[in-house]
Structure 1
Amino acid sequence: MYSLRIDGVATSIRIENHFRETLTEIGPGDGMTVAQLITRLWHEAVDVDHDLGNFTSFLRICCNRYHALIAAGEISAEHSVAIASHPAREILARETACRNLRMNGYGIPVTSKKQRASCRRRRGISGPFGIAKVRRSRKVTD
């Protein structure tokens, strides 16, 4: 559990270890403590009028988004590289372009194969319906 002050108000946040570790990874790269990072995320969310009824859930989403951006190759996996050093506007523009692909009645984007493949690779998705590919290994027993 984190205990911190946001705008002078004492706050405590309970969050699972995985997300706690992720917040601990993110902060130092940008020269912030975890408490400073959480406060910054709070202010950024307030600035864009997000509903902060469940701020802990918002933090989980931020952590998952961080890992998704690393997996997509949009940001560096090196913890020493500040997130602020990445081209946020370009990343958001690419993601918006992928989201805004026109869809036909079956949910399949109506654009070039090259553009569809690029967006799917960036999001880690494969298949014509945008279904994440899950590979499972089967153990063969005699």
Structure 2
Amino acid sequence: MCQLFTNADPTLWSSATRSLRIDGMVTSVRLENFFWTILEEIAKRDGMNLPQMITQLYHESIDSGHDPGNFTSFLRVCAVRYLTLQLSGDIPHQTNIPIRSLDADRILAREFEQQHC
């Protein structure tokens, strides 16, 4: 079992720091290459570049009342959640279908029901 993880390409867990500007402030985010790849795919699906998508996630998380204190962890969870939602069929595997076109309220309601049954 562990060979699936230990013998994978080590560049997947190598970290990279990227600088971006959010609301005029330059910030750096350090993530493993695996997460950067997933986040880039998410951004591309909705016709954004990575800094645009990260800025939008930042604003939407603030608007939802979240504390951005550990924003890097939030980005990791977004990436894993994206993959999980693809596995469940809630996000299509076809990357030409924008995420913004999906019915987020329906997906969240169904998740809530599954967690509370």
Identity %: 49
Runs of 4+ aligned structure 1 residues displaced above 6 Å come to: none
Structure 1 residue 71, shift from structure 2 partner: 0.4
Which one scores higher on RCO, CA 8 angstroms, separation ≥ 6?
2
SS of the aligned residue for 1:4 comes to: strand
Give per-residue Cα distances to partners, 1:25-73, cap 9 Å, x unaligned: 1111101000000000000110011121111000000000000000001
Per the alignment, residue 73 of structure 1 pairs with 89
Distance in 1 separating the partners of 2:59 and 2:75: 12
* Alignment TM-score, normalising by the size of structure 1: 0.69
* CA–CA separation in structure 2 for the residues paired with 1:78 and 1:11: 32
Q: CA RMSD in A?
A: 0.8
TM-score (normalised: structure 2): 0.83
Q: Which residue of 2 aligns with 1:91?
A: 107
Alignment of 1:25-104 (within 5 A): 25-101=41-117
2:54 maps to amino acid: I
Residues 84-132 of structure 1: CA deviation (Å, up to 9, x unaligned): 111111101101111122xxxxxxxxxxxxxxxxxxxxxxxxxxxxxxx
| Structure showing greater Rg | 1
- Tell me the distance in 2 between the aligned counterparts of 1:84 and 1:48: 17
What's the CA shift for 1:10? 0.5
Amino acid at match of 2:51: A
Listed as ranges, the matches of 1:101-112 within 5 Å are 101=117
Q: Which runs of 5+ in 2 are unaligned?
A: 1-16
What runs of 5+ residues in structure 1 fail to find an aligned partner?
102-142
User: What letter corresponds to residue 99 of structure 1 in structure 2?
Assistant: Q
Q: Distance in 2 between matches of 1:78 and 1:60?
A: 21
Which residue of the partner structure matches residue 8 of structure 1?
Answer: 24
Aligned residues: 101
